[in-house]
Structure 1
Amino acid sequence: MASRVLIFFIRHASLVRPLSEWGKLRMARDMAKLELAVGQNFVILHHFYSRGVEKLQSPTQRNKLTPLQYLLWLDSQGKDQIWKCVRATLDDYAAEVRVRGDKEFSPVYPLMLRIGSALPEKTVSQKS
């Protein structure tokens, strides 16, 4: 979805010609807002919990928090801490699957792992 949003933005932005100085500033501001919104992969990760099996607990369930408490916690944390929290739920789920002797994981498990594993790397490279 994020890829599609970026493609549409670029397509539409390239159609605006000529671009005044004010237009260039507005385009830069819009692109910065879009980058911030698309960079919020944690929204996507959290959505995957609704698509996963019951044994894959959300951070809210795992930490026995109300949704409001969890949202407030999210607002106060950096990406690396949020990923650690999400990763803990994935690790718990994987351990439970292995203990039960199951051969397959929920289809969302590898997706969440792949998306989440890339997040801290981006955070570190953005700080450099």
Structure 2
Amino acid sequence: MGIMLQENGPLSSLDKPDVPCSLYMKELQGFLSRVMSDYFRQFQCVDFIYDSTESIAQRAIELFLRHASLLRPLGEGGKMRLAADFAQMEMAVAPLCRRVSDLGKPYRMLRSFRPLLFQTSELIASSPAVGDLIPYSTVLHFLFTRAPPELKSPHQRAEWSIARYSQWLDNHPSERDRLALIRGALEAYVQLVRARQGKEFAPMYPIMLQLLQRATSGAQGPKA
């Protein structure tokens, strides 16, 4: 998924508007299709195979959503291409399951996250899907992408690569741990502004702070 950052990040509203989806998505679709046709479809025990491959599809969706929420910067052209990738992701994992809708929560998260790409930050923070279906931490990661560079994402503050941060998220599935790291990034931004004797924060900061407070006062929430 690392190539996702290179392909979608800096696109402007006029960059390659005719590209239906990203190259990595086309490669993923081809790879999964070949795996199923070359290795799995020769077996007769179809139900057993799907019971195994559906978990692979769920994991693929979860990683896609994770990396989609970490894309930074994300221009208007990047949003359009990413929206196309969301739709193509369903086609990519289709060979791994009987029906994509059988994938449960990951599938519902995929469907619920896509509309957020084009909503205002205020609407995103108030979406009923946030916290209930989409983890607070995932949405907060996405809101970082709309913030000024001074408001660094957790991995940027820690000077970690995306790959290392993704591994950290795998090792810390608890929302409590993830939100603590996000809180640290927000607090670091506050300290930066005060050190510069700034008189106001970026408009995104109070939105994120309010969402973080709601997240930490509620239940632990789902993983992503």
TM-score band, normalised by shorter chain: 0.5 to 0.7
Report the AA paired with residue 136 of structure 2.
Answer: N
Match of 2:162 among 53, 64, 67: 67
Q: How does 1:86-105 map to 2 (within 5 A)?
A: 86-105=182-201
- Distance across 2 between alignment mates of 1:68 and 1:61: 12
TM-score, normalising length: structure 1: 0.64
Match of 2:142 among 47, 52, 67: 47
Spell out, residue by residue over 1:84-109, the C-alpha distance to the aligned partner (whole angstroms, 9 max, x if none): 10011100100111121111111111
Task: Give the deviation of 1:76 after TM superposition.
Answer: 2.0
SS at match of 2:198: coil
Q: Specify which structure has the higher proportion of helix.
A: 1
Spell out, residue by residue over 1:20-49, the C-alpha distance to the aligned partner (whole angstroms, 9 max, x if none): xxxxxxxxx77xx66787241212101111
Which aligned runs of 4 or more in structure 1 are off by greater than 3 angstroms? 33-37
Query: Identical aligned pairs, as a percentage?
Result: 27
Match of 1:57 among 144, 152, 156: 152
| Structure 1, gaps ≥5 residues long | 1-28
| Structure 2, gaps ≥5 residues long | 1-103, 110-128
SS at match of 1:123: coil
Aligned pair 1:79/2:175, yes or no? yes
Q: Which has the higher contact order (CA 8 A, sep 6+)?
A: 1
Match of 2:208 among 103, 112, 116: 112
Q: Partner of 2:133 in structure 1?
A: 38
- Distance across 1 between alignment mates of 2:220 and 2:154: 23
Question: Aligned residue pairs: how many?
Answer: 97
User: RMSD of the TM alignment (CA)?
Assistant: 2.7
- Distance across 2 between alignment mates of 1:46 and 1:40: 10
- Distance across 2 between alignment mates of 1:114 and 1:62: 21
- Distance across 2 between alignment mates of 1:74 and 1:108: 24
